Structure 1
Amino acid sequence: MLRVVRLVLAVAITAAAALGVARLTTPADGGITRQLAFLRSELESGAAEDAQQQFPEGYFFLYALYGLTAVDASRLEDARWALTHLESDAGRAPFTGDMPLKYGVFYRGWVNWLRGGIAALSRDPGELRQFEQDSAEIAAAFDASPTPYLTSYPGQAWPVDSTVAMASLRLHDKVLTPKYEETTIVWLANVRAGLDPATQLIPHTVDADTGEPTSGAQGTSQSIINRFLPEIDADFATQQYTRFRTWFLDAPLGLGPAVREYPVGFDGPANVDSGPLVLGISLSATAVTIGAARVHGDASLATSLSQFGEVAGWPLATPWTKRYAFGLAPIGDAFLAWSKSARLWVAAPPAELPSRYISVWWRLPLLTLFLAVGAAPWLLRAAVRRRRAGSSA
């Protein structure tokens, strides 16, 4: 019996190592439909309400990311279902207070981006009219603002939120009659004038009244900013993405490519957005960067991050669903699904730049580890047999 147990354990260890090798070396872009099926089931079971207890925008983000992924997958009714929850009392609940743009730019920007994606798919006159109206209100708020960054909550401004809202105006100009080119030009000029001095990237937070940076660039916001900038201006997006890659891409202990929360050479505390930091790495920023890399034509980085995620995220797949980390944190599944389905809605896909290439050799340390783990039980069994044979002789 003991021999059977040892044999089963050895086979299990080797099979797990072989699975790690497979996940590290095969394409990792599939499974979006199964991820959406898992997320839909979780949302219907109250996952958004649970997430709201953990994150300030947990309810909102779960439905928003589900809806955006549904648009990327051309699942119109799923996207509409998500939008109805965002426009409910529960969806709007965190975004109260006196702000120039009602409900704040975080809420209005993400909702308008989703609404525009739905309208572009459906061409429904009512949905197009609502997209037109909401875009006009957002543009008017930008035109009247002394800074390029509108408030998300009373007295608080995050540039990433205004970036999403500005992208929604660019989507308007693609889907409907163009109106907001001048608003975009002015916004870009003001953004360029107020970059983080240390990295020349868009800052994480700014003073709500002046637009002056109050904290430097951080990975969680940079990954989203760089997901949306190509929709706004290709040249500026390329400049920012190149700097983002330089300052935030890392491989601690030689394992994987991953994304830091703070620039190389800087450290800081973890926060609710970054999640726990392991050797400075933010898992949430790393997941979202998959999408940013995809829309920038950085295929080698997108592939590498996805494959590393298939190993580190411990996905559990069935013929019907797919979830990561055993489905314990659906918000993480939502960000991954949105990132892996990423495509440009406004701009044309950029060409792949050879200078961005990630060498396949990044996999070598992990492959070596998996091969060593997979071989270890059999080497140990062989050593035990040799020792027993020597004792018998």
Structure 2
Amino acid sequence: MRFSDYFTNLTTRPRLLLGFLLLIGFVLLSWQNYQPPADAELNKRVRYLEQVIEEGAGVGTDLASINSQNPEWALFSLSFTAYALASRAEQQPALRPEAARYVALAVAQVLQPPIRGTFEPLATAASPIDTTGSVLYLGHLNLMLGCLRQLDPTTTYAGLHDTLSGALYRRYAQAPSGCLESYVGRRWVPDNTVALASLALHSQLSGSPYRMAAERWVARARRHYLDPKTGVLASQVDAQGRPQEEARGSMVGWSIWFLARFDPKFARQQYQLYQQHFSTNLGVLRLYRERAGAYNTSTGDIDSGPLVLGYSMPANAFAFADAVALHDQRNAQRLYRLIALGRRSVESPTELRYGVRFLDLPVSPLAEVLLLYAECPAVR
């Protein structure tokens, strides 16, 4: 062997070995499964959200700040905290009394004018609930009531839970479109999946027939609500139940999350189509777009947030929730890595929350509780 060949082998082999090791590392990371956070971390995050509930929505509070940005965000901050607390109590029964107390406080906040007033402008603290109103508000309120009743069967809100569930059940039976309005003339599919999940939970807790509304809705959705290009749920339907807006990642991801509570089979089918048409698999990461086949960069809208090459933060966050809820741990880990890249910790000896890295967004309680509920979904 010539000296030059010997020298080439010495310099090339380490490079080949390094490349081989990098390839092995990439494959191992790609196949790694998601592991939920430890109880100690989750409990510190719960304490932060309990503090948000204790403060309420008065002037100068986090909820008031969020409410001024978008009233829906304040409602979601409270409702998803209730869902997360109920889930944590299922996983750690010792937390049940504490969870029941704070979910009751969250329900009380949602019934007060600062939150309720957006959806019922003439409401007062003493006025009865308008059961003919927005399914967005009523769906989340009813699911919160169900979570509270699950934690505390003797809750004083049981009567309201029965009344509201019965009203929603009857409205679904009478709705020509099969979907109820979130706002006048707007029938958002994701908001309806929350209300239907609440009816399924009522049936589970009380033996009522209200789960049938969810079963009928799924049958109709399979026939009429699917986007013809992708097969996933449309974002909106019109008064006759025809798709009114194309499927969107931020909407279908949310819908799958709540479908998993009452029809895991349909949720899983939607999840597979969502992956097929909206995502890009990079092995160690997976990215989800707001619209199938669209790779534009723009400011987006209030639902999608900014779009970078068509990818949106909500689409990826809800895809992570879907993956955890449907036990796709490998994909959950890929999405968790993406989320970890964009978040920062804000920690004290007793509390932990996550903010958005590089940006000081005013919706940190909402961002935190969405992620918390994604990481500890309802036990089924």
TM class by shorter chain equals 0.7 to 0.9
Is the 2:248–2:292 contact (alpha carbons within 8 Å) kept by the matching residues of 1? yes
Number of the residue aligned with 2:285: 256
- Taking the aligned partners of 2:229 and 2:245, their CA distance within structure 1 comes to 10
Which structure 2 segments of 5+ residues have no match? Answer: 1-28, 90-98, 123-129
| Cα drift, residue 101 of structure 1 | 4.7
CA offsets 1:241-294 (integer angstroms, 9 cap, x no match): 111121222257x77223221123465861112211222221123223222211
Task: Tell which deviates more after alignment, 310-319 or 211-220.
Answer: 310-319
Is the 1:275–1:284 contact (alpha carbons within 8 Å) kept by the matching residues of 2? yes
Number of the residue aligned with 1:4: none
Number of the residue aligned with 1:161: 191
Number of the residue aligned with 2:251: 221
| Cα drift, residue 184 of structure 1 | 2.9
Number of the residue aligned with 1:336: 371
- Taking the aligned partners of 1:106 and 1:178, their CA distance within structure 2 comes to 22
Number of the residue aligned with 1:85: 109
Is the 1:198–1:216 contact (alpha carbons within 8 Å) kept by the matching residues of 2? no
Number of the residue aligned with 1:5: none
- Taking the aligned partners of 1:238 and 1:65, their CA distance within structure 2 comes to 22
Q: Assess, with a 3 A threshold, how the Cα gap between structure 1 residues 97 and 340 changes in structure 2: closer, same or farther.
A: same
Is the 1:284–1:332 contact (alpha carbons within 8 Å) kept by the matching residues of 2? no
Which residue identity does 1:324 align to in structure 2? Y
- Taking the aligned partners of 2:368 and 2:156, their CA distance within structure 1 comes to 32
**TM-score w.r.t. length of structure 1:** 0.74
Find 1:198's aligned residue among 194, 218, 229: 229
Task: Tell which deviates more after alignment, 123-132 or 154-163.
Answer: 123-132
- Taking the aligned partners of 1:64 and 1:295, their CA distance within structure 2 comes to 18
Superposition CA RMSD, Å: 2.7
Is the 2:87–2:378 contact (alpha carbons within 8 Å) kept by the matching residues of 1? yes
CA offsets 1:17-56 (integer angstroms, 9 cap, x no match): xxxx9xx999552422222323344552511111122224
Is the 1:139–1:183 contact (alpha carbons within 8 Å) kept by the matching residues of 2? yes
| Cα drift, residue 210 of structure 1 | 1.6
Q: Please say if 1:295 is aligned against 2:348.
A: no
- Taking the aligned partners of 1:239 and 1:305, their CA distance within structure 2 comes to 19
| Cα drift, residue 316 of structure 1 | 3.4
Greater than 4 Å deviation, 4+ residue runs:
24-28, 265-269
Is the 2:345–2:355 contact (alpha carbons within 8 Å) kept by the matching residues of 1? yes
| Cα drift, residue 116 of structure 1 | 0.5
Number of the residue aligned with 2:277: 247
1:250 counterpart SS class: strand
Number of the residue aligned with 1:95: 119
Number of the residue aligned with 1:118: 148
Which residue identity does 1:144 align to in structure 2? Q
- Taking the aligned partners of 1:70 and 1:185, their CA distance within structure 2 comes to 27
CA offsets 1:62-83 (integer angstroms, 9 cap, x no match): 1112222121122221111111
CA offsets 1:93-128 (integer angstroms, 9 cap, x no match): 111389x95331111111111110110111115333
Which structure 1 segments of 5+ residues have no match? Answer: 1-20, 349-393
CA offsets 1:341-371 (integer angstroms, 9 cap, x no match): 2124xxx4xxxxxxxxxxxxxxxxxxxxxxx
1:193 counterpart SS class: helix
* Structure having the larger proportion of residues in strand: 2
Number of the residue aligned with 1:68: 83
Number of the residue aligned with 1:356: none
Which residue identity does 1:33 align to in structure 2? N
Task: Tell which deviates more after alignment, 280-289 or 85-94.
Answer: 280-289
Percent identity over the alignment is 24
- Taking the aligned partners of 2:297 and 2:136, their CA distance within structure 1 comes to 24
- Taking the aligned partners of 1:161 and 1:197, their CA distance within structure 2 comes to 21
Which residue identity does 2:371 align to in structure 1? L
- Taking the aligned partners of 2:318 and 2:227, their CA distance within structure 1 comes to 21
Number of the residue aligned with 1:37: 47
CA offsets 1:190-240 (integer angstroms, 9 cap, x no match): 211221111111111222x22211211111111111111122223222211
**TM-score w.r.t. length of structure 2:** 0.77
Query: How many residues get paired?
Result: 321
